[in-house]
Amino acid sequence: MQTITVEELKAKLDAGEKINLVDVREPHEHQAFNIGGRLLPLGQIQTMQVDEIEDLKEVPVYVYCRSGNRSGQACLILDTAGFKNTINVTGGMLAWEERIGK
């Protein structure tokens, strides 16, 4: 697992890079504010229900949550499941809203 700041991620998005984003928050959190990631709550990752992102095993996957804690857990689980390049967005959406805005 690697890490990235919200500012670094925003710069990549602004540059038009193809980014594989996975949001591991709950549906209500995702609905309230998200940056375009695929919703896959941590509970599904913990029970290894990751079929919908199997296509991302060999490519960089940027994982985010509210504060960076759940996404860190998700990265570790995905690494164990054979994902080659997980990247935790440090500070999560709290940092994004604080430093970048909605």
pLDDT at 102: 78
pLDDT of residue 56: 96
pLDDT in tens, 63-85: 999 999 999 999 999 999 999 99
Q: What is the mean pLDDT of residues 20-34?
A: 97
pLDDT tens per residue across span 34-72 = 999 999 999 999 999 999 999 999 999 999 999 999 999
Which of 65, 75, 78, 89 is labelled catalytic? 65
The CATH code of domain 2-99 reads 3.40.250.10
75 part of the active site:
no
What pLDDT is stored for residue 34 in this prediction? 93
Q: For residue 78, give the amino acid letter.
A: L
- Contacts of residue 45, defined as CB under 8 A and 6 or more positions apart, other chains included, come to 24, 74, 77, 78
